[in-house]
Amino acid sequence: MMKITVWILVLLMITGIFYPCGRVWWHPQYLKVLGQRTVSDVIEQFGPQAEQRLKPHFAAAGVAYPPERVSLLAFKDRDLLEVWAHQGSQSTLVRSYRIQAASGVPGPKLREGDFQVPEGIYQIIAFNPNSAYHLSMKLNYPNAFDWQQARAEGREQPGSDIFIHGKAVSVGCLAMGDSVIEELFSLVYAVGRMHVEVVIAPHDPVIRALSVPAGSPPWVSDLYSQITSAIEHIRQPPMQIDQVE
C-alpha cells in the first residue's frame, strides 16, 4: 500500500510539471486527436460569456461595446495591462488586468531565445484558436523598427512568435490567464485586429520617465521616445476608470 501511494504521488508530481511546461510538445498531438478549432468556433464557445463579463465595464466607462478602436498598454515592471477604448476623439481606460507571467528584464528584445518580452508599438496580426496556451494573439514583432535596428547591427535572428496568450507561463510573451485571454480575444475580434494597437513599455512613463538601461544600444532612446509619445497620445483625455483584476 505504501509503494502504491508513493507511485501515485510521483505520478502526480510528474503530471504537474509536464502539463504546463510540456504543452508546446504534447498540445499539437492533442489537437491531432480532437481536431483543429477555428476562430469562429472559439468566438461561439467563449464570446457570449466574455462579452457578458466585459460589457458592464464598458457601460460604467460610458463607452459602447465594441468601441471603434482599442489600445492595449503593457507595463513590464508592474505586470499590468491596460485596456483603452476609443470613440471618436475620446479615449477611456475601461479596465486593467494583471499579467500572470512575462519573462525578461527592462529593455527591448534583441535576439531569438533571450526570453525577453519586446518593447515597442505593435499590431495584432493573427488569432490562434489552437494555442498551446488556451488562446493567443500574435504580435508583429519584429516590426519595421525592430528589423531596421537588427539589420544595422547584423542581428539575423531578432526573434519571432511573440503572443498575448492564456495560462501563466511565459518565455517572452504576455501570459494573461485563460479567462482574461478569452475576454481580450473576443474584444479584439469584435473591434477588428486592424483597429487594435499594443504598446509594451518597461514601466509607465507618466509615473517615471523612461531611462535607457545600462549597456543598451543607442537607438533605445529613440524607441523610448516613440513609446512615450504613443502612450501620451492614447491618454490625452482625462476620463479614466482604474480597475485592476
CATH classification at residue 55: 2.40.440.10
Instruction: Clarify whether residues 129 and 226 are in a common domain.
Output: yes
Q: Is 173 among the catalytic positions?
A: yes
Residue 190 lies in a domain: yes
Residue 69 lies in a domain: yes
134-171 residue pLDDT tens: 999 999 999 999 999 999 999 999 999 999 999 999 98
Please report which confidence band the pLDDT of residue 236 belongs to, taking 50, 70 and 90 as the band edges.
Answer: confident
Q: Is 203 among the catalytic positions?
A: no
Q: Which of 86, 165, 195, 233 is catalytic?
A: 165
Instruction: Clarify whether residues 43 and 90 are in a common domain.
Output: yes
Enclosing domain of residue 159? 36-234
Domain count, the chain: 2
Instruction: Clarify whether residues 43 and 27 are in a common domain.
Output: no
User: Where on the phi/psi map is residue 190: left (φ > 0), alpha (ψ -120 to 50), or beta?
Assistant: alpha
Please report which confidence band the pLDDT of residue 241 belongs to, taking 50, 70 and 90 as the band edges.
Answer: very low
Residue 239 lies in a domain: no
Angle at 136 between CA 180 and CA 87, to 5 degrees: 60
Q: Which of 230 and 35 is assigned the larger pLDDT?
A: 230
Mean pLDDT of the chain: 88
Instruction: Clarify whether residues 18 and 120 are in a common domain.
Output: no
Instruction: Clarify whether residues 196 and 186 are in a common domain.
Output: yes
Q: Which of 86, 134, 173, 203 is catalytic?
A: 173
Residue 240 lies in a domain: no
Instruction: Clarify whether residues 99 and 203 are in a common domain.
Output: yes
pLDDT for the residue 175: 97
CA 97 – CA 91 distance, rounded (Å): 18
Give the sheet arrangement for strand 80-87, strand by strand: 90-98, 80-87, 69-75, 196-201, 120-128, 136-139, 163-165, 174-175
- The three-class DSSP label of residue 126 is strand
Residue 26 lies in a domain: yes
